[in-house]
Homo-oligomer: A and B are copies of this chain.
Amino acid sequence: MNKLTVQKYGGTSVGSIERIRRVARKIIETKEEYGQVVAVVSAMGDSTDRLVEMAHSITDRPSEREMDMLLSTGEMVSISLLSMAIEAEGYEAVSLTGPQSGIITDLHHKNARILDIDTKRIKKELDSGRIVVAAGFQGITEKRDISTLGRGGSDTTAVALAAALKAEKCEIYTDVDGIYTSDPRKVKNAKKLDVISYDEMLELAFLGAQVLHPRSVELARKFNIPLEVKSSFEDKPGTRIVEVDQVEKVVVRGVTLDEDIAKITIMEVPDRPGIAFRLFSELAGESIPIDMIIQNISRDNVNDVSFTVKWDHLGKALSISRRVAVEIDARDVSFDDAVCKLSIVGTGIANSVDAASNLFESLFELGVNIQMISTSDIKISCIIDKSSGKEVLSHIHDRFILNDIEIGEKN
């Protein structure tokens, strides 16, 4: 008894009064079973969208500090209502804002990072037998202003609190029932995973699996917090995210498709030292993340340099590339937004002799041309034509995951 569980409930899980009541009962069950619960809660349903809309009806460019003040009210509404619902069932609860939970962040409004957590207040409330209902997504800066954590903020709050409070586990309740081998909306045969390693989950999250934000996975890995992603609407096991040695070894855990990218090519870049550095440092200076880069030695000491960026960054990346191209005497800049990125992810890839060749062979058999390749210990990504992306995804998924193809290990 008196083991602490941290649970996180997303916006859809508390999207209505009826759902808030259901979440209250779930929390009480956990309290009865384990002794202590901290529930981290997001803003109700689309309430954040409505607040953003109000701000934009005032001004196109609201200041980030004031946006954080405004947005933080969303979770304050859900935590107070949820606490009332718990109290209505005869249990003691206390809602705590980010500042009250002691979540101290840096000064980057709208995308703050947690610097420290002062757990005094939460511990006091838990010790006096109360269920703590903490606002996700928000904290307080050292200037004593309210900050918000940006995308995936509530997941991050939950994992950070679990780490700071040395919780037994952290459960992420959401509107899907776990992590899948691929996106079930795109791949008919996608299967729910019972278990996945932090590293694999991190890759999947970076590759666009929407369920968990990479920041929260990184944090869980760093502090070794057992995570579980579960449905808040059904009472069944979800997907546990654990250390790699606790996972049955497979070569490929998941297959992803990112259709949200574009490729930029700078043609005939003179082959002089420092040229690539110049381009990519200017892009980094504008906070444009570059994903894959290839450079082909084409002819006469000039190279073609290609790289991929997120769709959102295409316009800015293009204008920077065009400016730099002129400065470095490159011939021209082109772009291609009819591409997508197919990836296989699994901790077994590093030790597999033929994961890559199997992937390339499969793509060849499907008649798919590979435009770019990048690999890591646990991932192989290929840029391919967008038009056949979904079909290829299903084929590769079924071949690598359903058939669990025999792949030899490196000696």
Contact = CB atoms under 8 A, between A and B. Distances in A.
Contact of A54 (B54, B77, B146): B77
Given A73-B76, A77-B73, A84 B58 contact: yes
A95 B66 CA distance: 7
A79 B145 CA distance: 14
Contacts of A62: 84, 87
A301 interface: no
A25 interface: no
B84 A66 contact: yes
A88 interface: yes
A58 B95 contact: no
B121 A58 contact: no
A58 B14 CA distance: 12
B57 A83 contact: no
A242 interface: no
A150 B227 CA distance: 43
Interface string A90-101: 000111010010
B87 A81 contact: no
B73 A58 contact: no
A58 B82 CA distance: 9
Contacts of A84: 55, 58-59, 62-63, 66
Contacts of A57: 17
A76 B145 CA distance: 13
A293 interface: no
Nearest to A146: B97
Given A81-B54, A100-B144, A144-B121, A87 B73 contact: no
Interface in A48-83: 51, 54-55, 57-59, 62-63, 65-67, 69-70, 72-73, 76-77, 79-81, 83
A58 B21 contact: yes
A51 B74 CA distance: 12
A365 B121 CA distance: 68
A72 B97 CA distance: 12
A85 interface: yes
Interface string A284-297: 00000000000000
A63 B93 CA distance: 10
A67 B88 contact: no
A66 B88 contact: no
A142 to B, nearest CB: 13
A83 B55 CA distance: 10
Contacts of A67: 80
Contacts of A21: 58
Interface string A137-175: 000000011100000000000000000000000000000
Contacts of A144: 100, 121
Contacts of A401: none
A87 B60 CA distance: 11
A85 B66 CA distance: 10
11 contacts: A17-B54, A58-B81, A63-B83, A63-B87, A65-B94, A66-B83, A66-B84, A69-B95, A70-B77, A97-B146, A121-B144
Interface of A: 17, 20-21, 51, 54-55, 57-59, 62-63, 65-67, 69-70, 72-73, 76-77, 79-81, 83-85, 87-88, 93-95, 97, 100, 121, 144-146
